[in-house]
Amino acid sequence: MLRSPSNSPGGVSRRVVLGGGLAAGAGGCAQAQPVVAPARDLGGNPGPGLWEIARGRGIAFGAAVQAQLLATDPAYEQAYAREAGVLVPEFEGKWSVLQPKEGEFDFRLLEAIVQWGQARGRTTRGHALVWHEAFPEWAVNALSEGAPRARAVMAAHIARVLSTTRLRIRDWDVVNEVIADPPGSDTPQAEGELRNSPFLRALGPSYIETAFRLAREQDPTLRLVLNDYGLEEDTPWAAEKRRRLLNLVRSLVRARVPIDAVGIQAHLQMDRPFRPQVFGDFVRALRAEGLSVLVTELDIREASSVPDDFVARDRLIAERAGAFISSALEAGVKTFLTWGLVDRYSWLVLEPAVGRRDGKLHRGLPLDWEYNRKEMWRAMARAFASA
C-alpha cells in the first residue's frame, strides 16, 4: 500500500539511506541555501535555551540531529549546545546505517552523537529499530525468505543494537510508522489497519508484539516506544489514523506486550485544522492505557496559502506550534522533540515536493536559516515556561 501523498510526513517516496559512514552520505544533509532571513536576536547573550526553559518545568526538550553537521558546522553545533537537551539521530540509528550489510554493524555515527551529548550532559534517544524505510535491500530480501529467517534477522538486529547501546541510550522507537494510512475518512482498507510493510508480509501482525518482546529481553527498563505520524489534526483522515493506533495500542496492552510509550511525530500541516480538544483527548486516551506520550518529530509544514512575508508567516507558524505544545502539555506530554532545529537543514528543504510547493523556503523549525531564534522559538519557550 502506498502512502497517501497529502498526509504522510514524506508524502513522496523518500530517499532510502543504504550506506553508513560520512562518505556514503548518511542520509545526506541539506545543502546550505542562500541567506534570506534577516539576522535578529542571536547576540552575545542569547539567554537560556529551550531545553533549559523546559527543564525548569520538568519537561525534556530536544531535536533530531545529524552527526555530520555536528562535526562540520560550528554554528549548527552551537545551536544544539544551546537549545537541545535530548538528541535524536536523524539517520544514524536507522537500520541502513547501523547494519548496511548482514552481520556488519557500524555504530560510528550513532556513537558520535551519543558522545557529543554525553560530553555536555545531554541524552540521546534511539530511532528506529523496525521501520520499512532506511531499510537495506539485503534485509528486504532476507525478510522475503520465510518467517523463520525474517524473525532471526529482526531479532539479530534488535539484539545487537540494544546490547551495544543500552548503557548510553535508554529510550528507543522500537517500531516506527506501523499504522496503515487510511484512504478516506473512515473506510477500513482491505489490507487491514497495519501498514503493508516487509515485516508485516513476512511475519504477520504479530511482528509488532515480537519486536517489543525482543527489545524487552535486552533490557528490563529501557523505554520502548511505538512511533507514528498523521495523528494530530482535526480531519477525518487523522481521526481514522488515531482510531487505528488506539486500537493497536489497546490490543498490545491487553496482551501485556512491553510497550512503555507512544511517540506522536507531529509533522504538523498549516493547511489542516487543529483542535486542541481533539488532540488532547487522544493523548489522554493513550495515557489512560498506562502509557507515556512523547512528541517526537515536531515541525510545521507550511502551505502555499501561508503569506510570503516573514513576519506574517512566522506568526502563523508560531501560533500553531504554541497551540499544539500547550494542548500536549495540558494532556500530560513531558517530552518534546523537533525534527531538526534549524530551518536550513529541515528534511522539508531536502524534499521540497513535500514542503511548500511554491519553491519558497521553509520556516517550520524554532531557528531560522541563520540559526536565529524566531517566533516559533518564542512560542515554544512561552508554552514550556507556563507549563
How many residues touch ligand 9MR under the rule CB under 6 A: the total is: 17
160's CB contacts (< 8 A; 6+ apart) are 99, 105
Name which of 177, 77, 99 is nearest 133 in CA terms: 177
65: β partners: 89
Are 80 and 38 contacting, i.e. CB atoms less than 8 angstroms apart? Answer: no
Determine the interface stretch with ligand 9MR among 13-21, 271-279, 315-323, 376-384 (rule: CB under 6 A): 13-21
Taking the complex as a whole, the smallest distance from the CB of residue 387 to ligand 9MR amounts, in Å, to 25
How many other C-beta atoms are found inside a 10 Å radius of the C-beta of residue 154?
A: 23
**Cα–Cα distance, 248 to 191 (Å, whole number):** 15
Determine the interface stretch with ligand 9MR among 90-98, 185-193, 205-213, 251-259 (rule: CB under 6 A): 90-98
Cβ nearer to ligand 9MR, comparing 336 with 381? 336
Amino acid type, 346: S
Name which of 133, 181, 145, 152 is nearest 17 in CA terms: 133
Q: Can you tell me which of 1, 4, 14, 159 binds ligand 9MR, judged by CB under 6 A?
A: 14
With cell 524505510, the residue in question is: 133
127: β partners: 173
Rule CB under 6 A: which of 343-362 touch ligand 9MR? 347, 350
Cβ nearer to ligand 9MR, comparing 91 with 172? 91
Are 342 and 8 contacting, i.e. CB atoms less than 8 angstroms apart? Answer: no
Determine the interface stretch with ligand 9MR among 11-19, 154-162, 247-255, 305-313 (rule: CB under 6 A): 11-19
**Cα–Cα distance, 285 to 303 (Å, whole number):** 30
Q: Can you tell me which of 3, 7, 17, 181 binds ligand 9MR, judged by CB under 6 A?
A: 17
Rule CB under 6 A: which of 292-331 touch ligand 9MR? 297
Cβ nearer to ligand 9MR, comparing 27 with 49? 27
Rule CB under 6 A: which of 110-149 touch ligand 9MR? 133-134
130's CB contacts (< 8 A; 6+ apart) are 154, 158, 174, 175, 176, 199, 207, 211
Residues 253-292 vs ligand 9MR: string with x where CB under 6 A? Answer: ------------x---------------------------
Taking the complex as a whole, the smallest distance from the CB of residue 277 to ligand 9MR amounts, in Å, to 26
Taking the complex as a whole, the smallest distance from the CB of residue 189 to ligand 9MR amounts, in Å, to 21
Cβ nearer to ligand 9MR, comparing 9 with 387? 9
Residue number of the CB atom closest to ligand 9MR:
347
Taking the complex as a whole, the smallest distance from the CB of residue 211 to ligand 9MR amounts, in Å, to 16
In the three-class reduction of DSSP (H, G, I as helix; E, B as strand; rest coil), residue 228 is classed as strand
Determine the interface stretch with ligand 9MR among 14-22, 68-76, 78-86, 243-251 (rule: CB under 6 A): 14-22
Q: Can you tell me which of 51, 61, 76, 91 binds ligand 9MR, judged by CB under 6 A?
A: 91
Q: What are phi and psi of 241, to 5 degrees?
A: -65, -40
For the record, the C-alpha cell of 261 comes out as: 510509550
**Cα–Cα distance, 266 to 231 (Å, whole number):** 7
Q: Can you tell me which of 3, 9, 126, 327 binds ligand 9MR, judged by CB under 6 A?
A: 9
Is omega for the bond preceding 128 within 30 degrees of 0, making it cis? yes
If you count them, how many residues does the chain have? 387
**Cα–Cα distance, 132 to 177 (Å, whole number):** 8
Determine the interface stretch with ligand 9MR among 7-15, 44-52, 278-286, 367-375 (rule: CB under 6 A): 7-15
Residues 199-238 vs ligand 9MR: string with x where CB under 6 A? Answer: ------------------------------x---------
Name which of 322, 228, 324 is nearest 273 in CA terms: 324
**Residues near ligand 9MR, by CB under 6 A:** 9-10, 14-15, 17, 27, 90-91, 94, 133-134, 176, 229, 265, 297, 347, 350
